[in-house]
Chain A
Amino acid sequence: MSRLKVTRIILILMSLAIFIFPLPFSGQQKPDYKYKSLAEVTSSLKKLTAKYANLCQLSSIGKSYGGLEIYLLKMAAAQNKVKPEDRQSVLVVANSEGVHLPGTEAALSLAETILNAYGVDKYWTDFLNERSIYIIPVVNPDAVSAYFSTPALERTHNGHPVDEDNDGLIDEDGPEDLNGDGLITMMRVKSPEGHWIIDPEEPRLMRPADPKKGEKGQYLLYTEGYDNDADGQINEDGPGGVEINRNFLHDFEYYNKKAGLYPASEPETQALLKFMFDHNNIAAIINFSTENNLLNMQQTGRARAGAERVRVPGRYATFLGLEPNTEYSLKEIAEAMKSSGMVGEVEIDENLVATFLGLGPAMTFDRSDQAIYEELQKEYKNGLKEFGLDYLEKNTRGVGQGSFPAFCYYQYGVPVFSFDLWQVPEPKKSEIKAGLTPDMIRSMSSEEFLGLGEEKIAGFLQEQGAPPNLNAGMVIKMVQSGQMTPARMAEMMEKKPGGAGTRPKNENPEAYLLNYSDTVLKGKGFVDWKVFNHPDLGQVEIGGFVPYLRQVPPLDQLQNSLKFHIQFSQKLMQKLPVLSVKETKAEKLGTGIYRVTVYLQNEGWLPTSLAQGRRSLTAYPIRVSLKLNEQQRLFAGRPVEMIPVLQGGESKKLEWTVQAKKGSNLKVIVWSNRINPVEVTIKLD
């Protein structure tokens, strides 16, 4: 009864508000940047499928929680006998966050570029003849649909109703567009509890009061809306949901409702994972999201487990003949377990030991993989500079907890390249005196950092106010040994109390956003504060940044970056590992005895598997099998030789001695899950 009454009052108030202030509120609407709606994405995909019917197939990997299809475009030419799903393939994924509309544009445009090149450009013709490309342009359609609804509300979660405030009611208190401008912005209200003040330098911006300077807080900030369930909180339990890009399996954040109840709890996550595990021929992944893991290689997580020396608990140590107080490498423990003879038939390796001792998962890049990323980072940065996109280095985010790209590297074990494509440009500051800033350090490779020399590094540490025990010599050693990366270093400097960022100390951290709105967007990125009579809070002011300001630029601002990133993605695809048999030999050692030699080479730039792929057991070893017929017999060598990895360009010689009839043939099959198989027949004579 009384709830009805409140609603009625609200309605009256709202109509009054519109009536009294008709002009300022009806003018502002989220600017239309002509991004493709879900329906338009679908029709683009259908158009591509119609135009390139022999190359494309459109299907769905599943539905979102809200019941929307998650589309998959399969690109492969049927020229080859090998079925597309058995070929080495690349997966392109976009917009797991829902706010990253530029990513969807990039994925579609990458698809179109490659399809256009088929039959025109030899490289891409061969590529589609021999390999497959999978494009998933929207992983989180529930969130994307929010961009195209009114009122506009930045939304990164799917449609799964969640009781955010744990009161037994679900989605009972979401935001409302009180001023009817089609946007959910902020409310500021004067309150004795307030800890925000209006920034004296820029009265449109708010900043926390600094009690040390004698400032007293005056305002509380809320998102725009009512206290619908009269619990004293505003907008604490809105519609939906779970953030898909926090719902993946690596370093999942339990007990955070936004991340989901458990990893892969959401249908979107499950659909993508199921697709990936059903296609374990995916050799590389290109991801478009707000994370850029080529510029910021910093990974989530705290512990560095598994790689170091560990103690064996007393109750096991004595059984294994080890000292309980000594540290051993996992390999040593594995050896001890094997030689104890007590483990029976179980095959013991370092992973098993790590499991047995409960050491947990990898949390940092494997060193050899990091070297690959650092090499690619150089190439990427040069490209960014060339295209005038180097501002992207400024505020790059690394992969977050439970994010899709983190899963791709740590668990799926393939090279993953995540691109954010665009950020609100921050004007270059001239007042930075120091030669080196954390931002500059962050984007350096370990080698570049060491190349600065001890003096410069010492200067940097001093300027950053590093504690005296962290001296240059020590830092150099840590970077050399791989214990520390420049990115990690930069983060430490920024995170330590009083850490120096690049901004002048007094500048409001949102000032550059306002500047971007004022200049580039001609003021369309900000709603000026206007008084509103709020039924729960009394007089408030509504205003602030327009939703999606940080993630979605006008399309013309994006063109240059799209062009570069599509080119660069294509470059990455050209680096895939390719196995080939360079040469075979059959030497006669005696009557009916042959030495068979096979030279195998990885002709690609990337290794046949990442170290993390091997560790996570998802990259299978290269199996070189010798297929003998009934009359042939293996004299020396194994019927199946296993090669764990071939680095880019590396070759490997394999030898067998075979007893066989003169003139007979021998087949060699080279197979692994993420490279195209090779088969050769060797004639013995």
Chain B
Amino acid sequence: MNKTIKKIICLAFILLAATSSSPVLMAQSGKDRPAPRLTFDHFYNHAELTSALKQLQTAYPELMELVSIGKSYQGRDIWAAIINNKKTGPAERKPGFYIDGNVHGNEIQGTEVALYTVYYLLTKAGKLEAVDRLLSDRVFYIVPTMNPDSRDYFLHLATDSNSPRSGLAPYDDDRDGLLDEDGPDDLDGDGSITYMRKRDPKGNYRSNPDNPMIMELCLPGERGEFIFLGSEGIDNDGDGLINEDGPGGYDMNRNFGFNWQPNYVQRGSGPYPFSWPETRAIRDFIMEHPNIIGAQTFHNNGGLILRGPGARNLGDTLPADRQVYDFIGKKGEMILPGYRYIVIYKDMYTVYGGSVDFIYSLLGIFTFSNELDFEQYVGTSRAERTRTSEAEESTARRRFSPVGNPEEIIYHQLVLMGEQLVEWKPYKHPLYGDIEIGGVKKMGRRVPASFQLPETCHRNAAFCLYHADQLPRLNLEEVKVKRLDSGLFQIDVRVGNKQVTPSISALAAQKKLHRPDMIKVKGKARIISAGILTDRFRELTEPVKVRKDYFLVENGIPGFGYVDFRLLVDGSGEIDLIYDSLKGGYLEKKIGLK
């Protein structure tokens, strides 16, 4: 068993180390043609991702289109897979679902989840009814990584699990006029940035007597052994500070144009909204596809299903939209055991200029953001650990060891066999003299171990597919034509919605974020008058403003509901009755005026 895990991890690392495109295995697809077989027990670098996507596109040309939606700062393509069954209609006439991952360069597994979703949809087409239904009346717009520069940096260069969160445009973090001049340094050459400590009998840290790998804060009365010196590095620019200006230094998920705040209010927001090529590419891609009405972004970690608002000043989400979020979010907690569905600003922290708020609040798209994976360490359960940490403040403090808390270290020792652990080893530092370097490697935190990654991929893809299934599914439920004495026709039509998502979000309707839905007639016909039937028993009708052959439906069709319309039409012969929703789909029905 352990051997197998080790093998898998080894394999993953061999793949990681390869800078050339990956050896993607070819298999026979269901329709007797070569299709790539992808595995999800390792992480894809940008070249491997590109190659996998291209092969999928070649194998499934009738379902998948692969487009580069822009270039990253360093010139890598930002790929989007558009998945649509063209036989069932053009993409712009179906509700769209958008997915992106890896906006933070170090939060890599979102890319695998997104790629897995593409792979799953394509390989299950024609085999699973649920997938076929999704492919027939939804379109998927999937961007596996929007930060390919930092993804490759994270996978191939020495760093820790927290960086680079930024993109890689040089940035003057310490405001000295120099860019990225003093980042961390891999002093021991092990490919990871870990920590430095120095032996000092007056220090405030000590080794845990039972497990010397664990470094813990001294409690009052305990004798110290070490001082903590921070991340591995030297003072590259001679200004007396260490690691104060590393690669990049901004946060692209604070660079989106809603509730954006400058750097002094929201650290890392960048000079102005969409100032980076990556955020611009995403903005343009989403805005070029106004049929998108559901979206998902992937981060790590914590096991959270997040929704906006990101900051208190935005107030509460409108009740009608909140119900949609709650319905899907709570199902998400069942699809993703251990994940909690929460609100960003209330239950986590304040985020100004995050993509979730931009996509929902300005574009009218229901958006979730998942913090993928949480620490499934050994022994104690999550709840138990929280309880003990609150019980006694002193032990709680001790848990915040920067190097790793006891459960984490034990997990690394007993479950991962030390693969992601660097034992404390002596090093001669130019400034600090004799020190020790050690700690958890970059792949040892925040990203799932290879045996966990497939589950992360499938369950989160399942959540996306559930949300996509819950996008509006409109139908013309009933159409009744009646010839009136005057020779005009009264057409009663009921437009229903089988799913929870309305065809226009309450916010979009209130703030007029995009054009409303429309009812049109085509052929030898003219709408004389029309209204929404508010009481079908008493036949009470709220009139709407008619413009020759169409009228606007300002609030769209509610989730799990319907709207009854009554039209007074002058015309003859066969005409088309059309319900045209920007985000909810396009319905057409022929009716005879006799």
Contacts and interface: CB of A to CB of B under 8 A. Distances in A.
A639 B176 CA distance: 14
Interface string B130-144: 000000000000000
Nearest to B517: A168
Interface string A349-373: 0011011111111000000000000
A547 interface: no
A342 B217 CA distance: 11
Contact of B349 (A255, A269, A354, A356): A356
A249 B313 contact: no
B358 interface: yes
B265 A354 contact: yes
A249 B260 contact: yes
B266 interface: yes
Contacts of B361: 254
A361 B265 contact: yes
Interface string B442-485: 00000000000000000000000000000000000000000000
A556 interface: no
A102 interface: no
A640 B239 contact: yes
Contact of B271 (A167, A273, A342, A620): A273
A163 B515 CA distance: 9
A566 to B, nearest CB: 31
B33 interface: no
Nearest to B217: A341
Interface stretch (A226-234, A384-392, A577-585, A589-597): A226-234
Interface in B233-268: 238-240, 257-267
B458 to A, nearest CB: 33
A329 interface: no
B60 interface: no
Interface residues of A, number: 53
Contacts of A249: 260, 262, 272-273
Contact of A168 (B265, B352, B518): B518
Contact of A623 (B176, B238, B261, B264): B176
Given A273-B271, A623-B176, A166 B358 contact: no
Given A2-B548, A166-B515, A263-B272, A617 B311 contact: no
A621 B175 CA distance: 8
Contacts of A671: 176-177
Contact of A230 (B239, B267, B547): B547
Contacts of A304: none
Interface string A259-276: 001111100011001100
A26 to B, nearest CB: 36
Interface in B537-556: 545, 547-548, 552
B537 to A, nearest CB: 31
A615 B264 contact: yes
Contacts of A341: 217, 397, 400
Contacts of B362: 254, 261-262
A167 B264 contact: no
A355 B402 contact: no
B236 to A, nearest CB: 13
A270 B175 contact: no
Contact of A262 (B176, B230, B260): B260
A351 B260 contact: no
Interface of B: prevailing SS:
loop
B377 interface: no
Contact of B239 (A269, A616, A639): A639
B516 interface: yes
A129 to B, nearest CB: 22
A193 interface: no
Given A249-B260, A355-B350, A616-B264, A166 B516 contact: yes
A167 B515 contact: yes
B258 A361 contact: no
A636 B552 CA distance: 76
B345 interface: yes
A536 to B, nearest CB: 14
Interface string A598-631: 0000000000000000011100110101000000
Interface in A647-685: 671, 673
A673 B175 contact: yes
A231 B545 contact: yes
Nearest to A413: B264
Contacts of A145: none
Contacts of B263: 616-617
A42 interface: no
A264 B176 contact: no
Contacts of B325: none
A231 B261 CA distance: 39
Contacts of B230: 345
Contact of B260 (A229, A263, A355, A617): A263
A166 B514 CA distance: 7
Contacts of B489: none
A265 B257 contact: yes
B545 A273 contact: no
A344 interface: yes
Contacts of B177: 620, 671, 673
A615 B397 CA distance: 32
B235 to A, nearest CB: 9
In this complex, the member of A340, A341, A357, A617 whose beta carbon has the largest number of chain B beta carbons within 10 angstroms is A341
In this complex, the member of B175, B262, B547, B548 whose beta carbon has the largest number of chain A beta carbons within 10 angstroms is B262
B274 interface: yes
Contacts of B272: 249, 263-264, 269-270, 273, 277
A638 interface: yes
17 contacts: A231-B545, A249-B273, A254-B258, A262-B260, A262-B273, A263-B257, A265-B273, A269-B272, A274-B271, A344-B400, A351-B265, A358-B311, A358-B345, A360-B261, A361-B264, A620-B176, A639-B238
Interface of B: 175-177, 217, 230-231, 238-240, 257-267, 271-275, 311-313, 345, 349-350, 352, 358, 361-362, 397, 400, 402, 511-512, 514-516, 518, 545, 547-548, 552
Which 10 A-B pairs have CB atoms at the shortest separation, nearest pair first? A262-B257, A358-B350, A168-B515, A166-B512, A620-B175, A264-B272, A277-B271, A616-B264, A411-B262, A342-B400
Given A168-B515, A231-B545, A361-B264, 10 more contacts: A249-B272, A262-B274, A265-B257, A341-B400, A351-B264, A351-B265, A360-B261, A617-B264, A621-B175, A673-B175
Interface of A: 2, 163, 166-168, 229-232, 249-250, 252, 254-255, 261-265, 269-270, 273-274, 277, 340-342, 344-345, 351-352, 354-361, 410-411, 615-617, 620-621, 623, 625, 638-640, 671, 673
